[in-house]
Structure 1
Amino acid sequence: MGKKNLSNIEISEYLSDMWAPLNEDQRKFLSNNYILQNYKKNEIIYDEEETPKYLMCLLSGKVKIYKDGVGGRSQIIRMIKPVEYFGYRAYFANEDYVTAAAAFEPSILCLIPLEVMTKLVSENCELAMFFIKQLSIDLGIADERTVNLTQKHIRGRLAESLLFLKESYGLEEDGYTLSIYLSREDLANLSNMTTSNAIRTLSNFASERIIAIDGRKIKIIDVEKLTKISQIG
């Protein structure tokens, strides 16, 4: 993994929400205490039971937060897109990581030591409120996702995952193809189902002309019908 420092101009642009409430001294302090880290596709960013060291912000690429369950089967908890912060909840809860994170594709992260964040948050109420809001949003999403993954049927769960990927990463220039290519296993792990069920349900959606499949590329043809399936559950 290569490392290099970001310039002050770059960090102020990438981390604008975090940068804005800081005073001049705090900006200088932050500018001297972060690194840019490159991760290869499928490279582990952090693992379960590791001690948190950094607040992480994804600058480019795609990252999955996941947890290994019974029988080694993974459950994807969250998908991170630029520019989102992650990796800090466990630190403020005085815990080791209960999840793991890995790069879906070549990704660049900004890493800020959590001791630096503690100092900045303790000095700056506006920054503290920003991260309280971020944690609150993440908790709300997690609560809703827990209900959906346990109460919706297979079709509803897969439809929801496809719509989630569309909202998170957008579509390619054709206006139909998801801008993220997942393996069937990853899509199953995101939807809380077996890989065989994911493959079968995708095939059913394709035969119903809701989506079109070309390898790992998925085109959403009928977003209205997909939304209805997700809502019905």
Structure 2
Amino acid sequence: MSQTILIVEDEPRLADILEQYLRREGYHTERAGSGLRALELWRAARPALLLLDLMLPEMDGLEVARRVRAESEVPIIMLTARDEEVDRLVGLGIGADDYVVKPYSPREVVARVRAVLRRAQGSAPQPTRFQVGELRLDLAAFEAHCGPEPLDLTVAELRLLSALAREEGHVRTRTELLSALGGLERGTDERAVDAHVKNLRRKLGSCGAQLETVRGVGYRLRA
């Protein structure tokens, strides 16, 4: 089930762009153009994360954040117009998890969303079994199957595949995937990821089509 991101932004053009990029990454989105509407949607939709603009009609982002924080620890990323506002937000201690200064890259915002959600979920027990379409992984048993067929994968290949399976449908950059290899790839660069992906596609057989290349960005795993 995809996670819901609540976009609180009163500029429709910016909200449209954020929504487009987040949905492309597999997230479900809700939108609010004012502070009061943001509170209504937050209580109704219970999103996994709020992207919250500071300057809003009816109720500003600071007050929205205070009211949300009084009831929940849901992650909040504040969107601000000036660098000095970040210092003000930190000083007020509203409990935001991250800050992004406009003008921002939509890709950077999506990357921040992923990072904040990963941190928020870090204290929860991590799953060891995944199923994406016909592909099944069992990390505890060090096993992988495409349908009924067992797959002969190396440790590095299994780590890469599990990193993609953890965020099914989301694009993972080569840098993120190289990090997932940990100490297995000391002294190598991002081209090592491409080599592993090439080998994985060959070994995955009919499941190889699920491992997609996103040109200029990285890779994703889809059902």
Common topology (TM > 0.5)? no
Please classify the TM superposition score into its range, dividing by the shorter chain length: 0.3 to 0.5
Structure with more contact order per residue of length (Cα contacts < 8 Å, sep ≥ 6): 1
TM-score with structure 1 setting the length: 0.35
